Structure 1
Amino acid sequence: MKGSISTTASAEAALADVPPDARIVAGNACGTPLTLLRGLGRRARSAGAVSLTLGLTLGEAGLREAALEGALRIRSWHLHGEIRMLYKEGLVDYLPMRLLDVPRIVLTGADVALIRVSAPDADGYCSLGPSTSYARDAVRLARLVVAEVAEDVPRTAGDSRIHISEIDRLVNSTTSMALYETSIPTAAATAVAANVGALIPDGSTVQLGIGAIGDAVATELSRIGQGTSLRLHGMLSDPMIPLVEAIAAAGGPPVQTVELLGSAALMSWADRNPTIEMHDSQQIHHPLAIASVPSFVSINSAVAVDVRGQVVAETVRGGVISGVGGSADFAEGAHLSEGGLRVIALASTTGRGDSTIVAAHAPADLVTAAHHSVDAVVTEHGVAWLRGRTSKQRRENLIAVAAPEHRERLEEESASPA
């Protein structure tokens, strides 16, 4: 019961009385509670099966043995790292879901919430630090809240504080924060980013997805954005620091974000930094909130785009590699924004040289964004405008930004588009 907090010596002790068939949800991204998850894995193997629901999980949570034994039933709406490997082994079920829907679909039925926080301050407030997308809702809705307390959690500004009275059990953690490694941009990613940067009008508010292309676009925006009135929204990574600082130096408002995804240097920079404000996904991701922001530009990457404009971003040859995340939320908001723009940015070929512009997606692949939900597709070869274009024009524009060595084949394979 909240308000009667206890501190335990171990994660297993904190979870000792969690009953079989309990529904557990864990914190996200750099807020992944690794100490508690590892304890849950050990506890589940000896005390009976529980259900665990996860989002973007970073670090090594040590869940494989419990999942193999059937003591831990895992589902995730964003497969990454260890969880993606467990999915490939058939040990994780994929839950296709927009981030906006996490509270109403997952959290309302949660028995236990596992989170990671800073130590309480003099007034009894802990910080959720780098991840506030759904943590506050998890604390509010779960019957039991267990928090691991760590020294490396930054105290972030905005709506990231949790009072100790809202937590049932505390576990001291010496496990280092799970960090996100920013990609070193390839030549193709850098060229894609330059083409994206040329699309964005001064005064726009920009949202970037995660991954190599998002990192490259962040670097490009930091290069061109200083001295302009560009704004950021959604998620922050290391390459965005210079632009955030430029926005602040120009007298702009704090950047609103739900996740800090990056290095220890990013976390140190974010600690007590008033130029950023953490908020939950119901504020930052909600399409109606985004719609009120003029010239909102949503930029996300993809695995492949077919010549009709359908986007596959979750799967490769039918296997899930990520999730819907916030991309649908942001794109919908951008569509409603005055002067808004929905952009898909990707390199024209995979690491194996296959074309990412395709005549048709494989039947097993999931379409993440419908053909009518994209305004422009950008590769290193240019910009394919889809908004207001006919099916024939879309096909022509998309083939024109495919890798030159694949264009003739695409012409032949897509001669009669739907």
Structure 2
Amino acid sequence: MNSNWPADLVQPGDLVVVAQGVGEPTPLLNQLLAACPLDVEIFVGLSHSDALTGSAPQRPLVSFGAMGPLGKLAAAGNAEVIPCNFDDLPRLLPLRAQSNLVLVMQVSPADSQGCYGLGMAMDYTYELIAKARTVVAEVNAAMPTTSAPTLPASTFDAVIHTSRPLPIVPTPALDDSHHGIARHILPLIPDGGTIQLGIGAVPSAIGKALTARRGLRVRSTLAGDWLLDLHRAGSLCGEPGSVIISEAAGSEELYEHIATSNAWVRPVAEVIGPAAVASIPRLFAVNSALQVDLTGQVNAEEIDSRYLGATGGQADFLRAAQRSPGGASIVALAATANSGRTSRIVRQLQPPTVTTPRTSIDFVATEFGVVDLRGRTLRERAEAMIAIAAPQHRSSLYEQNGQQR
């Protein structure tokens, strides 16, 4: 293995897949963006660094969504989206690469056996290792060792050594609408339930509300500081295997907690794969949305022809929660956008992007209430959805739906 980036490891026509989130090897990504030939394609995911916030890359990037800085790049035509479920990337990316797959990832320093840990991020790159022609790693001395799987030195064709802090992902400012949504969701989740959240304002508010619960378990591909809130409040079960995640994004304290607690950092297939979720009782999956229509269809991807989100794991988690004994699928969103001018409860999705079908939704919550869509007809669903829209938009929704109030 080498200590510097060898230019000949990336060849014309390659697809270079970069690990995401806290596991992003940012120094390597910066080198790729600056020096790779134009006929090399770069796949990136959710980014918490400044690597994608500078000048536009010389070639369009590819991703499974347009989260964070990718939203602006996609709007400018500098990022393209492959619509897919998050756990399907290990199948789809080798098909795109056509045997020209290069992986770039970040690992923690070698242990006494000479193996490198995957720290805080178990994403699609782990499951692509066997299919890659070349694997390059950033060995970050500041990446904590966790319960994540380790990789022998022979996995890597090259490494670079760094020592840099993990990115801090602060909890967004929470307002009355976020806390209102959380208050409506709290009664749906009992003591001893298993929860799936993400990161962002709504999951953070829900996490704070759930500190009133006890014996909670966690099964989530991504965890934020809400996990730390639940731990500090004594709300978590505490048994080994009761907290299973693939990635974390938050404070230094969160990273330290995951490294020193019983939390398991596991591959995506072990968190949300069919075999993994089949035996989870009382799973409550809570996912955000950009829009929900009057029948319960969810759009978490596009608004006004701008790609802003991703399919991610939403559809998989919501369906898994429906099949879980005693569990439920929940969609949470603020009722309006643009300072209340635009309703996010809509007659029909515009554009007609269905991230999750109406058949996979049990509950929808806004700051104005929560509705149970289970067993309801289309007419009954519409009436229920209008009732949790912002008051100033309800008359318009009734008129659009051809209903009398």
TM-score by length of 1: 0.89
Matched, 1:196 2:182: no
The Cα shift of 1:65 comes to 5.6
**Pair 1:30 & 2:25 matched:** no
Corresponding residue of 1:405: 392
From 289, 308, 319, give the equivalent of 1:321.
308
Q: 1:258 to 1:250 in 2, by over 3 A?
A: closer
Report if the CA contact (8 A) 1:297-1:340 is conserved.
Answer: yes
Displacement of 1:276 after TM fit?
0.5
Residue in 1 that maps onto 2:111: 121
Contact 2:218 2:242 survives alignment (8 Å): no
> Does the C-alpha gap of structure 1 residues 365 and 183 become closer, same or farther in structure 2, counting only changes over 3 Å?
farther
Per the TM alignment, residue 394 of structure 1 is displaced from its structure 2 partner at its CA by 0.3
Any residues of structure 2 matched to 1:172-321 within 5 Å, and which? Answer: 172-221=161-210, 223-225=211-213, 228-234=214-220, 235-244=222-231, 246=234, 251=239, 253-271=241-259, 273-321=260-308
Classify 1:393/1:48 alpha carbon distance in 2 versus 1 (closer, same or farther; 3 Å). Answer: closer
Q: Secondary structure at the match of 1:171?
A: strand
Secondary structure of the 1:334 match is helix
Aligned with 2:284: secondary structure? strand
The amino acid of 1:216's aligned partner reads A
Contact 1:15 1:40 in 2 (8 A): no
Task: Please state how far the C-alpha of 1:18 moved relative to its aligned partner.
Answer: 1.3
Deviation of 1:95 (Å): 0.8
Structure 2 CA distance for partners of 1:334 and 1:37, relative to 1, 3 Å: same
Match of 2:3 in 1: 8
Q: Deviations along 1:268-305, whole A, 9 cap, x unmatched?
A: 2222x232011111111113421311111110011111
What's 2:332 paired with? Answer: 345
Identity of aligned residues (%): 31
Matches for 1:60-99 after TM superposition, within 5 Å: 60-61=50-51, 67-68=57-58, 72-99=59-86
What one-letter code is carried by the residue in structure 1 that aligns with 2:107? V
CA–CA separation in structure 2 for the residues paired with 1:113 and 1:15:
14
Q: Report the Cα offset of residue 170 of structure 1.
A: 0.6
Corresponding residue pairs, total:
398
1:67 is paired with a residue of what secondary structure?
coil
SS of 2:31 mapped into structure 1: helix
- 1:63 deviates by 8.3
Asked if 2 retains the 8 angstrom alpha-carbon contact of 1:291 and 1:338, the reply is no
How far is 1:250 from its partner?
A: 5.3
Higher deviation after alignment, 408-417 or 347-356: 408-417
Q: Does the 8 Å contact 1:305/1:312 carry over to 2? A: yes
Q: Offset at 1:408?
A: 1.3
Contact 1:376 1:383 in 2 (8 A): yes
Letter in 2 for 1:313: A
TM-score by length of 2: 0.92
How far is 1:143 from its partner? 1.3
Aligned counterparts of 1:163 and 1:254: Cα–Cα separation in 2: 28
Between 1:322-331 and 1:248-257, the stretch displaced more is 248-257
- Tell me if structure 2 keeps the 8 A contact 1:107–1:137: no
Cα deviation for residue 141 of structure 1 reads: 2.2
Q: In the alignment, what sits opposite 1:3?
A: none
Q: After alignment, is 176-185 or 204-213 more displaced?
A: 176-185
CA-to-partner distance for each residue in 1:210-249, whole Å, 9 max, x for gaps?
321111111111x212xx2221111221122132453567
**CA–CA distance in 2 between the matches of 1:251 and 1:66?**
47
